[in-house]
Every structure is written in C-alpha cells, then in structure tokens.
Structure 1
Amino acid sequence: MADIEDLLTYLQRGRDAVVWKLDGASEYDIRRPLTSTGTNLLGIVKHLAMIEAGYLGSTFGRPFPEPIPWSDPTLERNADMWATPDQSRDALVDLYRRVNAHSDETVRTLGPRAEGTVPWWTAKNPVTVEYILVHLIAETHRHAGHADIVRELADGSAGLAAGNSNLPEADADWWGDYRSRVDDAASEFL
C-alpha cells in the first residue's frame, strides 16, 4: 500500500500546477477557448473543483458542504468546463482550495481502506479512498497537462511549476530554431 501522505503530495502538486497556470494571465486568456472542444484555463479549475468534491466527498458519505451549482445534471453539458462572466477567478480558485482541504480531510479521517460508491460508475464499486486518490492524481495531472498547453497557446508561457520550468534553458531564437527543425522533420511525411 502506498503511503497516503505521499499520494496527497502528488495530488497537491497537480492542483498547484493547474492553479499556477492562471498566474499572470489576463481575464480573457484564462477564459478563452483555445481548442476545438473549448478547453480553457479557468474551466479546468472549475471542473476539477466539481469532480474532486464528488470523488472525495459524496462517494464516501462526506459531501462537500457548499453547493456546486454546475454539478446539477439538468444543466447543459459541459457547464463545469467554462466560467460564466459572473464567476470570478478568485471565487473559483478559492472554491477549489476549499474542496482540496475537504478532500484531504476526508482522506486523513477515513484512511486508505475506507470504502465508498461512485454513483456515476458502473464498472467498479465499491471503491477505496486509496483507489479514488490514485484516480484523482491521474485526472488532476492530466488536466494540468491540458492547462500547460492552453497557457502556452494563450501567451507562450510554459513550464512545470513556479521556479521549475522543466524545460531546456534557452532563448526565443533557440526555441524558434528547434520548432523549425521539428516541423521540418514532420514535413517529410506530407
């Protein structure tokens, strides 16, 4: 069995990466859809708040104590994937942080072997806290990758975390040349 604190650390790294992608970006850039499916930075935060509240809340009989209106199944599809004009960056990030704290408390209170039921799953139930924690780590880091690409599309910012780009140290000219070499190699298959 994995150490629960190690798993929470990995989950927190993904959470922090997603929120960090909002830093320094304009209101427009955090909201605008930059893929054909509408993926946007603030929508990712909103979505993660909702799913984490469900997976580490109601799944284990510890529902998040605040309403999350966009989790209503009668709303339009993908209502959780974009921010309406009245939903502020600060409000959504603050909600996400409160959900994170509630989730961490659920994990620590119940322990890794506690069982619950994911109402929207049909293939695997019951589930353990540890199983859902691993699922959320994967889900959060997947969306952190989306956020990294969307932020790079928005304004060119890229990297893993504040103070750690996890990219080669190079100037804009080097990156331009590198991209050209990659494009040239791909063009061989046109």
Structure 2
Amino acid sequence: MPSNTIGADGTITRDARSRYRQRAEGGAHGAFEAETKRAGGSPRAEIDVVRGPAPADLTDVLGSTESEVIIRRRRMYDGDRLVQLADTYIPAFVAEAAPAVAQLDTGTGGIISRMADAGLAQTDVVEDVSQTPATAEQAEALGVEQGELLLTILHTGRTKDGRTVEVTRHVLGRGWTLRYGVPLD
C-alpha cells in the first residue's frame, strides 16, 4: 500500500498506515524521502542539527530532565516546493547510544533505523494532529499568512519499555490530507 500520493494539483495525501515500515525503501534516508519518490516526486531536505533545550511544551512528552536534547530542524521539499517543516527532539541518552542521530546524514532508513540499530526500536508511535496558528517564521517559510491555521502532527516514538526516543513536530504547508487506519478486529 502506498504511503503518500501527490495529486495532479499538488495535493499530498500522507497515509500513515505503512509509512514507517517503508522508510528505507530504495536506500531512502527516511519515510519522507521514500514516500515522495514512490509518489513520483523529487524529495530533498535542508537539515540543521544542534544541541539545545527542548521547547517547554515538549519537556513532559520527552520525559527528560536533561538540559539539552539533539534538535534536527528540517525543511522538506518536493522539488522546489517547501511542503513541511519538521523539528525533531531526541533525548541525549539516545544520541549516546546512537551517535548517528546527531549527524546531518543519518544513512539509509534515517534516525528511526539508527535508533533500532542501537537497541532503541520504536514499537509505539502516537501522532497527535491539530491545527495551530502559523508563527511569523512558519508563515514566511510556507508562504501563508501569520496566524493561518496549519495542520501540525506531533509524532512521539517510544520503545517497548516506554522510553520516549523521539518527538517530532511536523508543520504542514497547504494542500495536505492525512489518512489513518484503525484495526477493528
């Protein structure tokens, strides 16, 4: 089942039912690259990696008392069109176990694969979707008005023993549809 499609009008449908299982497809460096290529797009990302404090609204989610986390800021494009901003916050204990998560190039499969390689596989993922008003920075980057409501996905990945290893805030530009499935058996 394809995880993303891009319509003739540029509308992106993000199908979460399989995206994390296919993140290394064709040597891709994560789900976005794999799914965008599969949909016929041209993925690219501008990445900045720094150490710093987690945003105050995420410290409880991260469950971290550490003063610094690894922050991966990404601008994700389909060709020349910026389609999302994604900021990932990784606790220091993860970076110690899987140092590649703090590198610009995290290799095939991206950070989720590097975490799994280090024994920190994500077995539980929760994605909270909300509408949030665009900040001045987000509005300028995504070509929308400041305060315009944008879809925001807060992705939290946890290990089998319940440790949070990643929190990513995806801020989506215009033209996204999100698709989720729920098993009923």
Mark yes or no: TM-score above 0.5: no
In proportion to residue count, which structure has more strand? 2
Larger Cα-atom Rg: 1
In proportion to residue count, which structure has more helix? 1
Greater relative contact order, per chain length (Cα 8 Å cut-off, separation 6+): 1
Report the TM-score when normalising by structure 1.
Answer: 0.27
Report the TM-score when normalising by structure 2.
Answer: 0.28
